[in-house]
C-alpha cells in the first residue's frame, strides 16, 4: 500500500514538475522577447521616429551590404566549385552578375516610381510604371531568334 502511494505521489510530483517547467519556459520566452524589444526594437523605432533620414540611410546601407555580402559569397563559392570541376569560373561568374544587375535595375526603377507616386506625381508614376512593365515584358518574354 505504501509502495502504491509512493508511486502515485511520484507520478503527481512528476506531473507538477512538467507543468512548472512549461510555465518557466513560457516565462523565459516572454522575458527574452521583452529583452529583445528593449534592446533592439525600441531603439530602432525611436531612431525611425526621431531621426528618420539617418535611419533610412543606415538601414538601406545595411540591407545593401548584407545582400552584396551573401551574393558575393555565393558567387565565389560556386566559382570555386566550378573551378574544382575543371570548368571556367569566368563563364559562371558572368551569369549571376547579369541577373543581379537586372534585379538591381528592376528594384531601382520600382523605387524611383514609388518616389514619384508618393511625391504627388501620380500620372508620371503611372506612365513610368506602364513603360517599365512594357520594357520588362520585352526583355523577359520575347522569344530569342524572332
pLDDT given at position 123: 92
Q: Which residue has the cell 524611383?
A: 112
Is residue 89 packed enough to be buried (19+ CB in 10 Å), middle (13-18) or exposed (0-12)? Answer: middle
Residues of the chain under the 50 pLDDT cut:
none
- Which helix (H) or strand (E) segment holds residue 47: the answer is helix 42-50
pLDDT given at position 27: 96
Amino acid at each position: 500500500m505504501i509502495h502504491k502511494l509512493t508511486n502515485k505521489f511520484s507520478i503527481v510530483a512528476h506531473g507538477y514538475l512538467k507543468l512548472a517547467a512549461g510555465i518557466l519556459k513560457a516565462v523565459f520566452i516572454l522575458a527574452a522577447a521583452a529583452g529583445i524589444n528593449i534592446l533592439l526594437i525600441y531603439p530602432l523605432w525611436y531612431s525611425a521616429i526621431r531621426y528618420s533620414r539617418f535611419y533610412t540611410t543606415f538601414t538601406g546601407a545595411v540591407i545593401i551590404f548584407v545582400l552584396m555580402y551573401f551574393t558575393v559569397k555565393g558567387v565565389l563559392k560556386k566559382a570555386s566549385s566550378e573551378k574544382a570541376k575543371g570548368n571556367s569560373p569566368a563563364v559562371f561568374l558572368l551569369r549571376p552578375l547579369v541577373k543581379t544587375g537586372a534585379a538591381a535595375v528592376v528594384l531601382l526603377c520600382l523605387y524611383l516610381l514609388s518616389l514619384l507616386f508618393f511625391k504627388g506625381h501620380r500620372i508620371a508614376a503611372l506612365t513610368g510604371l506602364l513603360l517599365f512593365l512594357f520594357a520588362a515584358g520585352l526583355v523577359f518574354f520575347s522569344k530569342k531568334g524572332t
